[in-house]
Chains A and B, each alone.
Chain A
Amino acid sequence: MRFKHLFVTTAAVLAAGAANAQMSDGVIKIGVMNDQSGLYADVSGPGGTWAAKKAVEDYGAAAKGMKVEVVFADHQNKPDIGSNVVRQWLDVDKVDVVVDVPTSSVALAVNQIVKEKNKVFLVSGAATADLTGPACTPNTVHWTYDTWALANGTGKAIVQTGGKSWFFLTADYAFGHALERDTKAVVEANGGKVVGAVRHPFPGTDFSSFLLQAQGSKAQIIALANAGGDTINSIKQAAEFGIVEGGQKLAGMLMFDTDIHALGLKTAQGLNFTTAWYWDANDNNRAFAKDFSAANGGKYPTMVHAGIYSSVIHYLKAVEALKSDADGAKVVAKMKEMPSEDKLFGKGSVRVDGRHIHDMYLVEVKKPGDSKKPWDYMTVKKTIPAAEAFRPLAEGKCPLVKS
């Protein structure tokens, strides 16, 4: 009896081993790293791990004989913790692909390590367009959005509707700097003027002195080049100073559904921003949102969650086509070669610099009276077609792009 049991187990292990002979160590290991407890936890956080697992499940990896494992870690928005974890993941824990990594400073550090170890990095949460610009690598795909796309969508729309003078309230790290730089370029190209900027510590709690400077600048638009908890706090505190009543307008350059939820429609109504994905845009998205909310305590998914899902699906496709996950650069090359398609992002492609190309949307936050159901917060004002949504290849200064 015991022998028979042993025999069956051994046979099963051997069979599984044969099916996965090409995978490094037999398992495709996905490491989701993000902020699990801090100011970006709602933007991706534990929901990001769920989205990666959901992608593996929907892809039917098990049925195809691919053994996929998802692990996660908290980088606490610190580059040193993030790079420690990733080093250990790649060296010891045999992780094959690092996913998400919001907080651009951490993402840039991870970007280097993943390249050095020749694995794969699928960015969803981080924003800096440098990941497909000067810092691009053959191992990184930047999926969901970037600072250039946000600036291009929101910045242009606001200048064109009369917001000519701008003041920036910027988170003082890689992401804020990149977002300010890209938005400034768009504003100036469209005939607007930047009258000043102030940088706040990251993560910040007290924005009062910065907001007073912004108020004193008399700029029509106060652009918030920050994200997550920082954006929420700066908008709330701006309301306390009566900045909007005073005639100045706030522009959240990077906003998520979860930010609107935290602010409430009364405070957030009328804000315009750019997003890569909205849960209430079509039936597929709504179905995903329903599953997400059931598994995540009633929260709804942001574009970052959708991006994690979509990028993991495309990664698994490339690995299946190659029948190997061992060489990270090869997998990414395959991802660039194959068109991408999934139920959340539809059809798209990955450019040579690692940028995933898809439509972006300019949305407006609804008035409290117009919201009919939970998390019904936005109306899509305009679709920015994929061809115009992202920085032209030649302007990125990515070494992989040959001029």
Chain B
Amino acid sequence: MMKAGTTKNRDLQIFAGLMALALIAPLAIYPVFLMKVLCFALFALAFNLLIGYVGLLSFGHAMFFGGAAYISGHVVKVWGWSPEMGIIAGTACAALLGLAAGSLAIRRQGIYFAMVTLALAQMVFFFCLQAPFTKGEDGIQAIPRRPVLGLFDLSDDRAFYYLVLGIFAFGFLVIWRTIHSPFGQVLKAIRENEPRAISLGYRVDQYKLLAFVLSAALTGMAGATKALVFQLASLTDVAWQMSGEVVLMTLVGGMGTVFGPIIGAGVIITMQNYLAGFGEWVLVIQGAIFVVVVMAFRKGIVGEIQAWWQRRSRNQA
């Protein structure tokens, strides 16, 4: 077995490598596409915190993603706030929404938990469909890209890319720290055996709620950033399909792995982008890939690579 310390270091080394790649990526790849991948990668990471480390399958994360997108779009466009304040406002609202939804949902487990979150998300969806400030089907359009901190001009896609990269790195490190903290250990203990964690004296519900709020807040951060990148907050962000998409990304990449969600988001977004010519058939293709992943590599792309790596090092040892 590898020692925990070396795993941690290895993760950070890989992350540093990825960041170095990401720094030069806009030279070769369209920055708006990269920003989309980063926003969804952060979304999937936040979702993975819940399903991968606490074992809670939320089917309503779109409410945090889309809700925060609407909030940040509204405060930036209508109230004239700066982008950093917009993102903070979106994140804060998602956290509050997460607190409300979470305190209801964590009372149940398994399929019931998923259904409660789905039901709450649908309520948020219909609220967004009808509330006047979201502009219904039109969405909040033409959200301005103001200079961040009043200094850096964001109208240039590359400049904005580095801001998004910074937000992504921040989100990743928060999640990474959480997973490797004592708090994260308790979460894993709850995932493995909840009655035992209770019998050891942990207040399981409070741990779960905190993890839920954290996941909601980071999801909100991703959604708020996406709204500013695309200058649009629309119903797509808050629809239940979005909740499904993030499940797909996490499972394809590898549930409960540190990098899986990032890879999963990259794969799914790339597919959506380059297969867009097939119109609604993209959904069918996605579905087929999902089936293949579930049948052939249960652990997801990163999960399988990790398992292979461990088998190999064990054989060598």
Q: Are B232 and A88 in contact (CB under 8 A)?
A: no
- Cα A37 to Cα B279 with chains together (Å): 8
Chain B residue with the shortest CB-CB distance to A83: B232
- Cα A92 to Cα B33 with chains together (Å): 11
Please report which residues of chain A, range 69-95, place their CB below 8 angstroms from some CB of chain B when the two chains form the complex: 73-74, 76, 78-81, 83-85, 87-88, 91-92
- Cα A36 to Cα B277 with chains together (Å): 10
Q: Are B279 and A36 in contact (CB under 8 A)?
A: yes
Q: Are A74 and B279 in contact (CB under 8 A)?
A: yes
Chain B residue with the shortest CB-CB distance to A113: B231
Decide if B137 is an interface residue (CB 8 Å cutoff). yes
Please report which residues of chain B, range 124-175, place their CB below 8 angstroms from some CB of chain A when the two chains form the complex: 129, 136-139, 141-142, 157
Given contacts A73-B276, A76-B280, A83-B232, contact A88 B32 (CB under 8 A): yes
Q: Are B137 and A108 in contact (CB under 8 A)?
A: no
Using a Cβ–Cβ cut-off of 8 Å, how many residues does chain A contribute to the interface with B?
A: 27
Chain A residues contacting B36 (CB-CB under 8 Å) are 84
Given contacts A73-B277, A91-B157, contact A109 B30 (CB under 8 A): no
Q: Are B30 and A105 in contact (CB under 8 A)?
A: no
Q: Are B141 and A109 in contact (CB under 8 A)?
A: yes
CB distance from B235 to the nearest CB of A (A): 8
CB distance from B78 to the nearest CB of A (A): 16
Q: Are B232 and A91 in contact (CB under 8 A)?
A: no
Decide if B236 is an interface residue (CB 8 Å cutoff). yes
CB distance from B224 to the nearest CB of A (A): 15
Chain A residues contacting B30 (CB-CB under 8 Å) are 88, 91-92
Decide if A393 is an interface residue (CB 8 Å cutoff). no
Q: Are A109 and B129 in contact (CB under 8 A)?
A: no
Q: Are B137 and A80 in contact (CB under 8 A)?
A: no
CB distance from A124 to the nearest CB of B (A): 20
Q: Are A87 and B32 in contact (CB under 8 A)?
A: yes
Chain A residues contacting B273 (CB-CB under 8 Å) are 88
- Cα A173 to Cα B142 with chains together (Å): 16
CB distance from B222 to the nearest CB of A (A): 15
Decide if B58 is an interface residue (CB 8 Å cutoff). no
Q: Are A108 and B141 in contact (CB under 8 A)?
A: yes
Decide if B234 is an interface residue (CB 8 Å cutoff). yes
Q: Are A80 and B32 in contact (CB under 8 A)?
A: no
Chain B residues contacting A112 (CB-CB under 8 Å) are 141-142, 231
- Cα A172 to Cα B139 with chains together (Å): 12
Considering residues B142, B237, B273, which has the most beta carbons from chain A within 10 angstroms of its beta carbon?
A: B142
Chain A residues contacting B81 (CB-CB under 8 Å) are none
Chain B residue with the shortest CB-CB distance to A105: B138
CB distance from A107 to the nearest CB of B (A): 10
Chain A residue with the shortest CB-CB distance to B281: A37
- Cα A49 to Cα B280 with chains together (Å): 19
Decide if A27 is an interface residue (CB 8 Å cutoff). no
1/0 contact trace for A203-228 toward B, CB 8 Å? 00000000000000000000000000
Q: Are B232 and A80 in contact (CB under 8 A)?
A: yes
Considering residues B30, B139, B230, which has the most beta carbons from chain A within 10 angstroms of its beta carbon?
A: B139
1/0 contact trace for A54-81 toward B, CB 8 Å? 0000000000000000000110101111
Decide if A202 is an interface residue (CB 8 Å cutoff). yes
Chain B residues contacting A78 (CB-CB under 8 Å) are 234, 236
Q: Are B138 and A174 in contact (CB under 8 A)?
A: yes
Please report which residues of chain B, range 225-242, place their CB below 8 angstroms from some CB of chain A when the two chains form the complex: 230-232, 234, 236-237
Given contacts A80-B237, A87-B32, A112-B142, contact A172 B137 (CB under 8 A): yes
CB distance from B219 to the nearest CB of A (A): 17
CB distance from A217 to the nearest CB of B (A): 21
Q: Are B234 and A79 in contact (CB under 8 A)?
A: yes
Chain B residues contacting A88 (CB-CB under 8 Å) are 30, 32-33, 273
Given contacts A78-B236, A79-B232, A91-B157, contact A85 B138 (CB under 8 A): no
CB distance from A229 to the nearest CB of B (A): 15
Decide if A399 is an interface residue (CB 8 Å cutoff). no
1/0 contact trace for B16-32 toward A, CB 8 Å? 00000000000000101
- Cα A36 to Cα B191 with chains together (Å): 46
Given contacts A80-B234, A91-B30, contact A201 B138 (CB under 8 A): no
- Cα A80 to Cα B157 with chains together (Å): 17
Q: Are A80 and B231 in contact (CB under 8 A)?
A: no
1/0 contact trace for A104-124 toward B, CB 8 Å? 110011001000000000000
CB distance from B110 to the nearest CB of A (A): 32
CB distance from A209 to the nearest CB of B (A): 16
- Cα A173 to Cα B129 with chains together (Å): 10
Chain B residues contacting A83 (CB-CB under 8 Å) are 230-232
Considering residues B129, B141, B231, which has the most beta carbons from chain A within 10 angstroms of its beta carbon?
A: B141
- Cα A92 to Cα B137 with chains together (Å): 28
Q: Are B236 and A37 in contact (CB under 8 A)?
A: no
Q: Are A173 and B236 in contact (CB under 8 A)?
A: no
Q: Are A105 and B279 in contact (CB under 8 A)?
A: no
Q: Are B137 and A174 in contact (CB under 8 A)?
A: yes
CB distance from B211 to the nearest CB of A (A): 30
1/0 contact trace for A158-184 toward B, CB 8 Å? 000000000000001110000000000
Please report which residues of chain B, range 220-276, place their CB below 8 angstroms from some CB of chain A when the two chains form the complex: 230-232, 234, 236-237, 273, 276
Q: Are B136 and A172 in contact (CB under 8 A)?
A: yes
Chain B residues contacting A202 (CB-CB under 8 Å) are 137
Chain A residues contacting B136 (CB-CB under 8 Å) are 172-173
Could you list 14 A-B pairs, sorted by A, with CB under 8 Å? A37-B279, A74-B276, A74-B277, A76-B280, A79-B139, A80-B230, A80-B234, A88-B32, A88-B273, A91-B157, A105-B138, A112-B142, A172-B136, A174-B138
Known: A74-B279, A78-B236. 8 other contacts (CB 8 A): A78-B234, A79-B137, A81-B236, A83-B232, A88-B32, A105-B138, A173-B137, A174-B138
- 8 tightest CB-CB pairs across the interface, nearest first? A173-B137, A105-B138, A74-B279, A112-B142, A80-B234, A174-B138, A80-B236, A37-B279
